[in-house]
Amino acid sequence: NMSRELSDLRSNLRAAAASVADETAAERRDAIAESPYSSSEAAVQAILESLKTNEFSRAIRYIQECR
């Protein structure tokens, strides 16, 4: 049932977003300044890999870096 999986994913992403939001602004600026992506495709791949391995906080940080 995809509804349960999507609900679990939404809950995990919300928890990760709250965790990442607790970081200081300086830490986020440093992380963004060191962005390792050579292209938008590389960034998307990194986000997808993080989601596949349930590294939700990392996926959220990657999304922020790509903005």
Cβ proximity of 32 and 41 under 8 Å:
no
Residue 48, pLDDT score:
92
Residue 50, pLDDT score:
92
Cβ proximity of 57 and 20 under 8 Å:
yes
Residue 53, pLDDT score:
93
pTM: 0.63
* pLDDT string in tens for the chain (67-residue length): 688 888 998 999 888 888 887 665 556 555 555 566 778 888 889 999 999 999 988 888 888 877 7
